[in-house]
Amino acid sequence: MRRAIAADGTVAHYHGDLAEISRLAGDLDGAQISARRALELAPNNPHALHNLGSVQYERGELEEAEVLFRRAVALQPAFADAYCNLGNALRARGNHEEAAAAYRQALSIKPDYAAAFNNLGTVLRELNRLEEAELFYRRSLALSPNDPLTLNNLALALRDLERYEEASELLERSLALAPDNAKTLTYVALLRLDQNRHEEAHAAAQRAVAALPEDPETLNAMGLSLHELGRGEEALAFYRRALAAKPDYAGALNNMGNVFKQSGELSQAYDAYSRSLAIDSRQADVFVNLADLRKVKADDACVAQMEAMARDVEALPALARMRLHFALAKAHDDLGNFGEAFAHMREGNALRRAKITYDEPAALAFFDRIRETFDAKLISAKEGGGEASPIPVFVLGMPRSGTTLIEQILASHPKVHGAGELALMSDIVASFEAQHGEPLAFPEGVRELGKDDFTRLGREYVTRLRRHSATALRITDKMPSNFCFVGLIHLALPNARIVHVMRDPLDTCLSCFSRLFSAEQNHTYDLAELGRHYRKYAELMAHWRAVLPEGRILEVRYEDVIADLEGEARRIIAHCGLDWSENCLAFHETKRQVKTASASQVRRPIYKTAQGRAAAYRKFLSPLIAELRDFTEPPG
């Protein structure tokens, strides 16, 4: 092209073609010079206008790009590419509805325009019209089935719709076409985090960062994977790198705030969340985090902001509105507006319940099957095996019963490492094979296990637990639902300590109902279902007391801890076979990652405001009270 221009520099399209070649080669400065020269020679040529608009778009000069694309389509109304690129410029400037109209115009001119379908899907996804976005992505794929970009975009839409398995299949297809595509690897990492497959997420993020080491989205995904693996300081380093590459990256600031909150650095968390909202004031997740961080006050502007967002049904997807309702419930509870708080709880829970599949009969029958399997005869016959390690300490009970507080007291002891909520026991049970080679079908399959099987199972648990600390004398596992495995824990880990935490049933259940859990707690989003689940939990704990040796489980009441911190803390420490440490009384000063809904509460000294919390809501709790009709005390 340069030789052609040297031969005759007056031909506009020579300069225009050189501009496009230079743009594709990454030489934006050279492309701009050539495109401007083409336009000088042919000021009313639509293609010259389009070429310069494309260069300006890539240079980030969006306003000029939009003007140039508009001039091009005014001169040539059937210019589909110019309409598509006009849509890109409008979308980049935040004019999403106009962008969608431009893409539709391109498609009216060129009905088989795969890129326009893809771009229309993306702008609709950004408008939270996810079902429409999915439709247009699929139309793009029908025209271009092996396009990794469209496969990725459809996967992102399905991820937003919480259709994780379908999204995973699409990303695998995309990786098969382009195995080292850093963006695809980044999306795989984010999806694996959604699926709680943290090691896989980290592996994908590592590959993404290796391929694209300065990309802010990739760096942010790496930070998220490290955070989920409990490596908070390393996560912060990656969030900071993401912000260095993109200073207005609101998501990275929010993620930094989460690390600070879980580390107990609450003022730094508040600053990070506030900076994130200053960049983008419509982030439901950040409002949830901010409301959870501290007690909301009457003059707090965030309440009015959240109320306005929650009312704007069309602008927010159901997931974001659901999160806002939970945040508003917390805010109004802090303000003493209990009627408004419960209205938001009810709305948020209804939205969540509509999105999940919960087979209540099967879930409740599971509790009955455990009790029927682990009878006194089986316990007596199977005792005598297991791994003898005294390292594990299981802190269990209903969610929101005080388990985080008890673990924080324990983790404040110099010889204890608090590992948090671990899925170790459920993961091992799901993958365990007995010596005869059959998978363990829990609970009934326990009847077929021999003492050597229990030893292998216990040893596998301790091996995995030790990864959290190589030196601690005791390591806590605070997964509340481990109460389902108490009988198995007794047989596989006979020297493990078990601490069962209890709280007033109504207070416990209301606290569950007021929270949007990050992990599966599918029984908590309907008051009657929640009450029935509580009954089954209480029956199961009563069963364990009846069939296990006396003293095997230490029962700790949340209310007793509030009334006599030192007395109860001494009981807990003694049960764990440890000498007393005064550090346990200053639990709120202990620096460690706490990754539960109570992360900010355990940074405060003992307080009594959560005790009797359900009293203010009693008139709203009829379905729950009906199910808990004969529970006036915690199960014990």
Lookup: tokens for 20:
């496009």
300-309, 423-432, 616-625: least confident range: 300-309
Q: How many residues does the chain have?
A: 636
Q: Using CA atoms, how far apart are residues 395 and 168, in angstroms rounded to an integer?
A: 34
Q: 604 pLDDT band (50/70/90 cuts)?
A: low
Q: Using CA atoms, how far apart are residues 75 and 46, in angstroms rounded to an integer?
A: 6
Q: 602 pLDDT band (50/70/90 cuts)?
A: very low
In a domain, 68, yes or no: no
Summarize pLDDT for 42-78 with one digit per residue, the tens.
999 999 999 999 999 999 999 999 999 999 999 999 9
Q: Compute the radius of gyration of the chain from its Cα atoms.
A: 29
In a domain, 565, yes or no: yes
User: CB–CB of 450/385 below 8 Å?
Assistant: yes
Dihedral angle sign, alpha carbons of residues 82, 84, 88, 90: positive
Q: 162 pLDDT band (50/70/90 cuts)?
A: confident
Residue 221 exposed, middle or buried by CB count within 10 Å (0-12, 13-18, 19+):
buried
What is the largest distance, in Å, between two alpha-carbon atoms of the chain? 99
What pLDDT, on a 0 to 100 scale, did the predictor assign at position 603?
A: 43
What pLDDT, on a 0 to 100 scale, did the predictor assign at position 340?
A: 95
Q: 291 pLDDT band (50/70/90 cuts)?
A: confident
Residue 101 exposed, middle or buried by CB count within 10 Å (0-12, 13-18, 19+):
middle
Q: What is the DSSP string of 133-180?
A: HHHHHHHHHHH-TT-HHHHHHHHHHHHHTT-HHHHHHHHHHHHHHSTT
Q: Using CA atoms, how far apart are residues 490 and 348, in angstroms rounded to an integer?
A: 39
Domain that holds residue 505: 360-627
Residue 231 exposed, middle or buried by CB count within 10 Å (0-12, 13-18, 19+):
middle
Lookup: tokens for 143:
């025209």
84-93, 420-429, 602-611: least confident range: 602-611
What SS3 class is residue 308? Answer: helix
Residue 18 exposed, middle or buried by CB count within 10 Å (0-12, 13-18, 19+):
buried
Q: What is the 3-state secondary structure (H, E, C) of 389-405?
A: CCCEEEEEECCCCCHHH
Q: 434 pLDDT band (50/70/90 cuts)?
A: confident
Checking phi first, is residue 319 left (phi over 0); if not, alpha (psi -120 to 50) or beta? alpha
Q: Is the pLDDT of residue 598 over 60?
A: no
Lookup: tokens for 626:
């009906």
Task: Name, in order, each residue with C-beta under 8 angstroms of 324's C-beta and a sequence gap of 6 or more.
Answer: 284, 287, 288, 306, 309, 310, 316, 348
Summarize pLDDT for 271-284 with one digit per residue, the tens.
999 999 999 888 88
Residue 127 exposed, middle or buried by CB count within 10 Å (0-12, 13-18, 19+):
middle
pTM of the model: 0.79
Mean pLDDT for the stretch of residues 129-152: 96
Mean pLDDT rounded to a whole number for the chain? 92
Q: Give alpha helix (H) positions in 550-636.
A: 558-563, 565-575, 622-627
Please calculate the CA angle 435-440-446 and round it to the nearest 5 degrees.
90
498 forms beta bridges with 394, 553
In a domain, 381, yes or no: yes
CA 485 to chain centre: 26
Q: Which of 394, 376, 364, 363 is nearest to 465 (CA)?
A: 394
* In the block, residue with structure tokens 């001119």: 109
Using CA atoms, how far residue 1 sits from 21, 48, 124, 226, in Å, is 9, 16, 40, 50
What pLDDT, on a 0 to 100 scale, did the predictor assign at position 586?
A: 86
Q: Which of 306, 314, 352 is nearest to 331 (CA)?
A: 306
The total number of structural domains in the chain stands at 1
Mean pLDDT for the stretch of residues 88-105: 95
What pLDDT, on a 0 to 100 scale, did the predictor assign at position 631?
A: 67
User: CB–CB of 477/424 below 8 Å?
Assistant: yes
In a domain, 478, yes or no: yes
Using CA atoms, how far residue 145 sits from 5, 121, 414, in Å, is 39, 15, 58
Mean pLDDT for the stretch of residues 186-196: 94
Check which CATH number belongs to the domain holding 518 and give it.
Answer: 3.40.50.300
User: CB–CB of 522/366 below 8 Å?
Assistant: no
- The percentage of the chain sitting over the pLDDT mark of 70, rounded to a whole number, equals 95
Q: Is the pLDDT of residue 600 over 60?
A: no
Q: 609 pLDDT band (50/70/90 cuts)?
A: low
Mean pLDDT for the stretch of residues 518-531: 90
Element (H, E) at 488: helix 486-492
Amino acid letter, residue 540:
L
Summarize pLDDT for 338-389 with one digit per residue, the tens.
999 999 999 999 999 998 889 999 999 999 999 999 999 999 999 999 999 9
Summarize pLDDT for 246-256 with one digit per residue, the tens.
999 999 999 99
Phi, psi dihedral angles at 317 (to 5 degrees): -70, 165
In a domain, 57, yes or no: no
* In the block, residue with structure tokens 């497959």: 197
In a domain, 236, yes or no: no
CA 366 to chain centre: 27
Q: Using CA atoms, how far apart are residues 290 and 232, in angstroms rounded to an integer?
A: 19
What pLDDT, on a 0 to 100 scale, did the predictor assign at position 562?
A: 92
Task: Name, in order, each residue with C-beta under 8 angstroms of 145's C-beta and a sequence gap of 6 or more.
Answer: none
